[in-house]
A and B are shown apart, each in its own frame.
Chain A
Amino acid sequence: MKVIFKTSYDNDIDLHEDWWARGKIIALVAVMAVLPFLVGEYYLAEATNTLIWSLAGMGLMVLVGHTGQASLGHAAFMAIGAYTDAALMNIGVPWVVAFPLAGLAAGLFGALVAIPAVRMSGIYLAIATLALFVIVEEMIIILEPITGGVGGIFAPSITIAGVDFDRYASLNNFYWLCLGCVVLVTWLYANLLRSPTGRSFLAVRDSEVSARALGINVTRTRALAFGLSCAMTGLAGALMGHYISFFNYELFSVFISINLLLVVTIGGLGFIQGAFFGAILITAVPQLIAILRDGLNSTTGIDLGSIPGLDTLIFSAILVGFIIYEPAGLYGRWLKLRVWFQLFPLARRDMFRRQKTYLKTERMR
């Protein structure tokens, strides 16, 4: 196993512990940057979709993975982001202004909602966010002059300083734009985690009592986490709006919220990387299913397309499997694999055996 010789506190403060780790990230970003020259338009569009999902996934990860609060209504914040962005651009506000405002609107709304909501714990918060989602959905229909109501709204194509970033006409540019946003948000998120703010999030997640004894204002911290989470998700929603181009409230259904939960849980709760793993999974699996379906249809004549809802069934099965057998998610599995290879052939089977956990009651008593 590699041992890092630390000579300064900065080794621990820096994002990466050495140049090897830093180099890997740089290489990854570089490959992502040249992707438009490597793959065709169809797969580039899928890659863009994956990036947008990872951005939204990171938003939910802040909340679920790092602050320990559940939200079943994050689609609502994606919708707020998407509608704010599109509506502002429709009255002539340029994208560079509308986009941050979309994030801000979602974040502020989230923080505002959070102030009463964060006093609730676990299950109550999950239910409250679900209710909030239904209310936002209805509001979108009611506020027809702004949102286009049931008919929907058009997200104009993006132009920055004369350069066109339209999702269809110049997909390469739109892809780079999304990549830029994702890299920036990831950097901010990673910074957050290594700073006092991030530590206070973790403190609130792991022991509320201790957090209070250490002087952490739990309500304020949770509201901040909620706001940041919603802002990130709102940004993702705005990009999603441009990606789809023309959308109505149905784009942000309750299934989007569920998919987001899927991203963070299957990806690996509590790791930024988990959001990316999860996003790749949920954009890739429908593709795989489609390929499999076509293959089966042409070779054996079995038409799986005639069974409706097969995708959701497969998703659900994957989800159940992960929760029961690998609660640490894909990223957790990846970490274990890595250790196994590093130690080969010395790794032992029971090395990762889960510690017996006892029912930790959340009931007030």
Chain B
Amino acid sequence: MSLLQVEDLAIHFGGVKAVDGVSFSVEPGEVFSIIGPNGAGKSTIFNLISRFYKPTRGTIRFDGQDITHLSAHQIAPLGIARTFQNIELFDHSTVLDNLLMGRHTHRSTNWVQDMMFLPKVRRAERGHRQKVEEVIEFLELEAYRDKLIAGLPYGVRKVVEIGRALAMGPKMILLDEPASGLSVEESQDVAYWVEDMRRDMGLTVLMVEHDMGLVNQVSDRVLAVANGEPLAMGTPAEVQADPQVKAAYLGTEVDA
């Protein structure tokens, strides 16, 4: 059964149809990419899945459960983690604390226990730290562990955000333009990490990305959207061969 099923999803802002009639499903362990020109509604689809926006029409099902009407904060506990296009980290905290914040869905203590700092809290903290250290090792963030986010270079912040999502231990991760603004080497790292997430962690990856090189390298299937409507779906090669996609998107891109 599909892990994520999106059916006939639509959201209209006033008269603007930002997303209209998009359907797709993502299988467990799959890397699924959404591509499209700027303003095509790719990030809007993500925001609909994270429940930041309320869809005008359609349903979203995750792991057999209808999540269309949940609140935004009820999404993470189901096992959906995400990153943001314009990096939304906690700027005044260290990398370590940012990653620990990713463990929120796994907290086992309440605020009263926290304030007394009972032995139980310490045990839980050690457990969280263990998991976070695994993520730090995976993403090679050791050198930045105790640094404040505010002073970090852009590329590192992007990686920290992926790390925060991974620290959650999700079933599915939504990556919103993970390679935008990165150097060639850095986006190559992202490609390896996506591959490892799928292979070693058994994660399902849903990705919005402009870098066609990255998309071709890691995606099992690709959905192309334009003006909020789906154009084509299939393997990266199939989608790029689609005449409609060429016209709407790749035709204007030089280095496909």
Please report A residues at the B interface, Cβ cutoff 8 Å.
Answer: 9-10, 12-13, 188-189, 191-192, 194-200, 202-203, 205-207, 209-218, 224, 228, 270, 355
Q: Return the contact of A212 from the options B73, B110, B114, B129 (Cβ within 8 A).
A: B73
Jot down 6 A-B pairs with beta carbons below 8 A, ordered by A: A10-B122, A191-B117, A196-B128, A203-B104, A206-B91, A215-B75
Chain B 208-234: CB-based contact to A (< 8 A → 1; otherwise 0): 000000000000000000000000000
Stretch at the interface among B4-12, B23-31, B55-63, B93-101: B93-101
Total inter-chain residue pairs, C-beta < 8 Å: 116
Q: Return the contact of B75 from the options A192, A199, A213, A218 (Cβ within 8 A).
A: A213
CA distance A197 to B107 in the complex (A): 9
CA distance A195 to B111 in the complex (A): 8
Please report which residues of chain B, range 76-96, place their CB below 8 angstroms from some CB of chain A when the two chains form the complex: 76-77, 81-82, 84, 88-93, 96
Best-buried of A202, A209, A212, A215 by chain B (most CB within 10 Å)? A215
Whether A206 lies near B90 (C-beta < 8 A) is yes
Which residue of chain A lies nearest to B72 when distances are taken between CB atoms in the complex? A212
Whether A188 lies near B129 (C-beta < 8 A) is no
Please report B residues at the A interface, Cβ cutoff 8 Å.
Answer: 50, 52, 71-77, 81-82, 84, 88-93, 96-97, 100-105, 107, 109-111, 114-117, 121-122, 124-126, 128-130, 150-151, 164, 168
- CB neighbours (8 Å) of B114 from chain A are 191-192, 195-198
Whether B103 lies near A196 (C-beta < 8 A) is yes
Chain B nearest Cβ from A121, distance in angstroms = 16
CA distance A206 to B149 in the complex (A): 11
Whether A218 lies near B104 (C-beta < 8 A) is no
CA distance A224 to B110 in the complex (A): 11
- CB neighbours (8 Å) of A203 from chain B are 90, 101, 104
Whether A188 lies near B75 (C-beta < 8 A) is no
Whether A214 lies near B109 (C-beta < 8 A) is no
Chain B nearest Cβ from A233, distance in angstroms = 16
Interface of A, helix, strand, loop or mixed by DSSP: helix
Chain A nearest Cβ from B120, distance in angstroms = 11
Whether B92 lies near A218 (C-beta < 8 A) is no
- CB neighbours (8 Å) of A210 from chain B are 84, 88-90, 164
Whether A191 lies near B73 (C-beta < 8 A) is no
Interface of B, helix, strand, loop or mixed by DSSP: helix
- CB neighbours (8 Å) of A213 from chain B are 50, 72, 75-76, 81-82, 84, 88
- CB neighbours (8 Å) of A270 from chain B are 92
Q: Return the contact of A214 from the options B97, B111, B125, B168 (Cβ within 8 A).
A: B168
- CB neighbours (8 Å) of B72 from chain A are 212-213
The 6 closest A-B pairs by CB, nearest first: A215-B76, A195-B114, A206-B90, A191-B117, A212-B72, A210-B88
Chain A nearest Cβ from B187, distance in angstroms = 23
Which residue of chain B lies nearest to A206 when distances are taken between CB atoms in the complex? B90
Whether A216 lies near B73 (C-beta < 8 A) is yes
Chain B nearest Cβ from A351, distance in angstroms = 12
- CB neighbours (8 Å) of B116 from chain A are 188, 191
Whether B96 lies near A12 (C-beta < 8 A) is yes
Which residue of chain A lies nearest to B82 when distances are taken between CB atoms in the complex? A213
Whether B102 lies near A214 (C-beta < 8 A) is yes
Known: A194-B117, A196-B124. 17 other contacts (CB 8 A): A10-B126, A13-B122, A192-B111, A196-B128, A197-B110, A200-B101, A202-B90, A202-B92, A202-B97, A203-B90, A205-B90, A207-B88, A209-B52, A209-B84, A215-B77, A215-B104, A355-B151
- CB neighbours (8 Å) of A216 from chain B are 73, 104
- CB neighbours (8 Å) of A192 from chain B are 111, 114-115
CA distance A290 to B158 in the complex (A): 55
- CB neighbours (8 Å) of A13 from chain B are 122, 125-126, 129
With known contacts A188-B116, A191-B114, A216-B73, A199–B105 Cβ distance under 8 A = no
Chain A nearest Cβ from B255, distance in angstroms = 31
Which residue of chain A lies nearest to B51 when distances are taken between CB atoms in the complex? A212
Q: Return the contact of A196 from the options B76, B88, B107 (Cβ within 8 A).
A: B107
Q: Return the contact of B115 from the options A12, A191, A202, A209 (Cβ within 8 A).
A: A191
CA distance A213 to B74 in the complex (A): 9
Whether B125 lies near A195 (C-beta < 8 A) is yes
With known contacts A188-B116, A197-B115, A214–B93 Cβ distance under 8 A = no
Chain A nearest Cβ from B52, distance in angstroms = 7
Whether B89 lies near A207 (C-beta < 8 A) is yes
CA distance A192 to B100 in the complex (A): 14
Chain B nearest Cβ from A365, distance in angstroms = 12
Chain A nearest Cβ from B86, distance in angstroms = 10
Which residue of chain B lies nearest to A13 when distances are taken between CB atoms in the complex? B125
Whether B104 lies near A199 (C-beta < 8 A) is yes
- CB neighbours (8 Å) of B81 from chain A are 213
Whether A214 lies near B104 (C-beta < 8 A) is yes
- CB neighbours (8 Å) of B52 from chain A are 209, 212
CA distance A188 to B72 in the complex (A): 30
Q: Return the contact of B88 from the options A10, A209, A218 (Cβ within 8 A).
A: A209
- CB neighbours (8 Å) of B88 from chain A are 207, 209-210, 213
Chain A nearest Cβ from B139, distance in angstroms = 17
Whether B129 lies near A9 (C-beta < 8 A) is yes
- CB neighbours (8 Å) of A205 from chain B are 90, 92
Best-buried of A198, A206, A228 by chain B (most CB within 10 Å)? A206
- CB neighbours (8 Å) of B122 from chain A are 10, 13
CA distance A198 to B110 in the complex (A): 11
Best-buried of A196, A202, A207, A216 by chain B (most CB within 10 Å)? A196
- CB neighbours (8 Å) of A194 from chain B are 117, 125
- CB neighbours (8 Å) of B76 from chain A are 213-215
